Amino acid sequence: MKPAGVTLSPESFRDAVISPYGAPISSLLVRSSGLTSGSDPHGRQIYIIQPIILYRKYKPTAIFTGTALLPENRVLVCKNDGTVEAIINEPEAGDDVELLDGLLSPGFINAHCHIELSHFKGIIPEHTGLVNFVGQVMTRREEKNAEEKLAAMQAAQQELWESGTVAVGDICNTTDSFIIKQNSPLYWHNFIEVTGFVDAAAQKRLIDAEQILKQFLQTSSMVNGQASMVPHAPYSVSKALFQLLNDRTANQIITIHNQESTAEDELYKTKSGDFLAFYKNFGIDISSFEPTAKSGLQSWLPYFNNHQKIISVHNSFTSQADIDFAQNKLSFCLCPNANLYIENVLPPVELLVQNDCNIILGTDSYASNHQLNMMAEIDTIQKNFPLIPLATILQWATLNGAKALGIEKDFGSFEKGKRPGLVLIKDGQAKKV
Ligand SMILES: [Zn+2]
């Protein structure tokens, strides 16, 4: 580079700065510069070099890339806006390396949440069982006013963000959460949930959900994310509604609560179990429901044959026969802390791993969880299934979740050009960098 004060054309300056591509990356990073021009007292044009730091370089204790833990002494290089440039060896990194104490991971993908239920925090007791839990969510939604609901959602979003979540698969029964999503730093896939266990009401239920979906889609430019219509659960969606939803969701990403309790399989196999009293309580006429003699999963999955990408959530009582039946068509989303909260059970994690299932993670909502912190879900899996390596679980929480939500182009791993967010993990705690 020519000495300061010597006239330098923008072209030659640009060449001087940019041509080191291929030279040690440190020279490129340190010399990234801006340029302004002016003239000296004799009217000669001069260019002034203004150093601008365009990159940030992080050297944590270890790096998880989205698929693997790297050996020590690696440096993650990002642009100032967080776009990944490279992972390089420490000696090549030059100056200005920021040291981080902990494991650096791409931002978490929380594939199952209901932020609009945040006002339920601490309200429903633990271990009530699913049927009782669902009844309480249905009857107690309006115990808080709009202001309290909004404040609860804002606090929830704050916790998600600060604990390293960058994208959420979020169930919506209403447009309540719309307001916080308009100005959110997070990516949201809004799953507009449809319920209705009586065939005769199916069309109306779909139309009502269409209205909510429309609002999310119409202002999609204001909302960072996507929206699609989804069934709630096998025990709350009728045959006619499943069929309508299949027509309505061709090639889309859908999700469904699956096998969260044994009552679900009992209902489908023999039309018996705790759900019968539940329907009676709520005056739901189930005379047209016919048991299939199959499990819940084996009953609902065949309805979807329009190339949907399907996320099956909870799966606490999913069996080998169900996994065989699903033939890798599903992403299995696990929310272990919610399962412990409601039913005091854990999903069959080892069985899913042995079968090489595509596993992803979510927190569910404050109605069934004390926190919306993905690290707490990872901790629970580590404690209860200590043979599963941390890198495997982290991949569920990052790249697998991103793929399930169709956002792996931007999220889920430290690959050049992605902007996946950074999470620092230390002593079982995760925080956004
Ligand atoms: Zn849920």
How confident is the prediction along the chain (433 residues), in pLDDT tens digits per residue? 333 333 333 333 333 333 233 333 443 343 334 455 666 677 777 666 655 668 999 999 999 999 999 988 999 999 999 999 999 999 999 999 999 999 999 999 999 999 999 999 999 999 999 989 988 888 898 889 999 999 999 999 999 999 999 999 999 999 999 999 988 999 999 999 999 999 999 999 999 999 999 988 876 555 578 999 999 999 999 999 999 999 999 999 999 999 999 999 999 999 999 999 999 999 999 998 999 999 999 999 999 999 999 999 999 999 999 999 999 899 999 999 999 999 999 999 999 999 999 999 999 999 999 999 999 999 999 999 999 999 999 999 999 999 999 999 999 999 999 999 999 999 999 999 9
Q: What is the DSSP string of 122-184?
A: TTSPTT--HHHHHHHHHHSGGGS-HHHHHHHHHHHHHHHHHTTEEEEEEEESSSTTHHHHTT-
Q: Which residues pair with 167 in a beta bridge?
A: 109, 187
**pLDDT for 35:** 52
Q: Is 4 exposed, middle or buried (0-12, 13-18, 19+ CB in 10 A)?
A: exposed
User: Cα 350 from chain centroid?
Assistant: 22
Ligand 1 center from residue 112 Cα (angstroms): 6
Ligand 1 center from residue 258 Cα (angstroms): 10
**pLDDT for 182:** 86
Q: Are 311 and 255 in contact (CB under 8 A)?
A: yes
Segment holding 8, helix H or strand E: none
**pLDDT for 220:** 57
Ligand 1 center from residue 256 Cα (angstroms): 8
**pLDDT for 224:** 74
Ligand 1 center from residue 226 Cα (angstroms): 18
What's the CA dihedral at 350, 258, 228, 363 to 10 degrees?
-60
Ligand 1 center from residue 314 Cα (angstroms): 8
Ligand 1 center from residue 114 Cα (angstroms): 6
Q: Is 91 exposed, middle or buried (0-12, 13-18, 19+ CB in 10 A)?
A: exposed
Q: Is 345 exposed, middle or buried (0-12, 13-18, 19+ CB in 10 A)?
A: middle
| 316-to-192, 223, 238, 264, 385 alpha-carbon distances in Å | 23, 33, 22, 11, 15
| 337-to-80, 272, 347 alpha-carbon distances in Å | 35, 28, 10
Can you point out the beta strands (E) in 186-329? Answer: 187-194, 225-231, 253-258, 309-314
Distance CA 282, CA 65 (A): 49
Q: Are 239 and 302 in contact (CB under 8 A)?
A: no
Ligand 1 center from residue 75 Cα (angstroms): 38
Ligand 1 center from residue 215 Cα (angstroms): 22
Q: Are 353 and 388 in contact (CB under 8 A)?
A: yes
242 CB-side CA count, 13 A: 18
- The structure tokens listed for 313 are 């959530």
The residues, any chain, with a CB within 8 Å of residue 207's CB and separated by 6 or more, are none
- Count of C-beta atoms within a 10 Å radius of residue 200: 11
Q: Are 29 and 77 in contact (CB under 8 A)?
A: yes
